[in-house]
Each structure stands twice: as C-alpha cells, then as structure tokens.
Amino acid sequence: MNKASDDLKHEHEVIKLALQILKKMRDRIMEKTEYDAGATASLLEVFSVFADQCHHGKEEKMLFPAMEEAGILKENGPIAVMLAEHVKGREHIAQMRVAIDVDNKSIDTEKFVDAAKNYIELLIPHIEKENNVLFPMGDNVLSDSKQNELLEDFEKYEENVIGHGKHEEFHELLKKLKAEYI
Ligand SMILES: [Fe+2]
Ligand SMILES: [Fe+2]
C-alpha cells in the first residue's frame, strides 16, 4: 500500500538533488568561476516553492497534525524539532535571496555562500531524521484509511496551492540544472 511517507520520501530525493546543485553552484560562485543570476534565482524558486511551500506544507498542514491526532506529542518531541528546522530553512532561503540581485546580475558572494552552506547543512540531516525517525513513527500509528486520506489531500494541495503542472516544470528545470552543474 502507498503511504504518505512514500510520497514525501520521493520528494526528499528531488530536494537532495537540488541541494547537490546548490553546492556546485556555491563552489563556482566561491571560486569566482561563474555566477549565473537566472539559474540561481530559478534554483531558489525550487527551494521556496517545491521544498518549502509544497513539501514542508504537506508535512506541517497534513502529516504532522495527523500524527498528533494519532497520539504523538508535538511539544518537546521530534515534530517540534522538524517545525523549528523548517523555520530556520526559510530564513536561509531568504538570506540567499537578498544576496542576489537578478536585475543587475550581481551577488553578495560572502552572504550567499554562507547562507547556502547553512541551508545545505540544515536540510540534509533534516531529511535523514524524517526518513529514519519521524516517518516510521507516523507509519506505526496511522491507519490505512488515514494514509489514503493524506495521499488524496496531498494531491489536492499540489493542484490548488502549487498549481497544475508546476511540479513537472520543476523536474524539467532540475534536469537542466543537473546537466549543467553536476
Ligand atoms: Fe521537513
Ligand atoms: Fe521532509
């Protein structure tokens, strides 16, 4: 049976690819070999819309509340830690965004490099904790019907909040950036 965590784990793989691209981008910017303002802005869009709004949105608005309802306490537990890390991640994305000026094709190198490093170092262990600790906890307590309900809600959320075809657009963009950077 398909579980809500399967969908989220699949998205984790996509986010990890985007983080690998960010790392390469950051290296090139740091070594001053290349700064592509358009590509950098597009990748930030993947992080703020796909990783944060869509993926973290599904976790915060649907999976975590379902886990709480099933008896997993939020306060002082792993859910609270995950939520705090989402907030931190948002700050790092905002810092990367203010470091780049797309119109003038300029960049505050130090600020961008620092924020990118912090974001990568936050998100990789965050994903591992969810895959290995939080999701198994949820799968233990969620009924089959709740899993189905979550999967349906995820689909509706993608359509209504992120927009039709947006996911495919991000996949295409990442494919292009992967060929360019990795
Ligand atoms: Fe998360
Ligand atoms: Fe996640």
Read off the pLDDT of each residue in 130-150 and give the average, rounded to a whole number: 97
Q: 23-53 pLDDT, tens per residue?
A: 999 999 999 888 999 999 999 999 999 999 9
Q: Does 79 have pLDDT greater than 90?
A: yes
Report the pLDDT value the prediction gives residue 13, as an integer from 0 to 100.
98
Architecture of domain 4-181: Up-down Bundle (1.20)
Residue 76, pLDDT > 90, answer no
Give pLDDT, residue 161: 86
Q: Which ligand is nearest to the CA of 55?
A: 2
pLDDT at 20: 98
Q: Which residue has the tokens 């991000």?
A: 170
Q: Which ligand is nearest to the CA of 82?
A: 1
Cβ–Cβ under 8 Å, residues 166 and 49 = yes
Q: Report CA(135)–ligand 2 centroid distance (Å).
A: 9
Our separate counts of H helices and E strands in the chain read 9, 2
Q: Which one of the ligands is nearest to 78 CA? A: 1
Instruction: Show the beta-strand stretches assigned E in 116-168.
Output: none
Query: Which two three-digit tokens encode residue 76?
Result: 């002082």
pLDDT of residue 34: 83
Secondary structure class of 163 (helix, strand, coil):
coil
| pLDDT at position 8 over 90 | yes
Domain boundaries, the chain: 4-181
pLDDT at residue 33 in the model:
80
Model confidence at 159, pLDDT cuts 50, 70, 90, reads very high
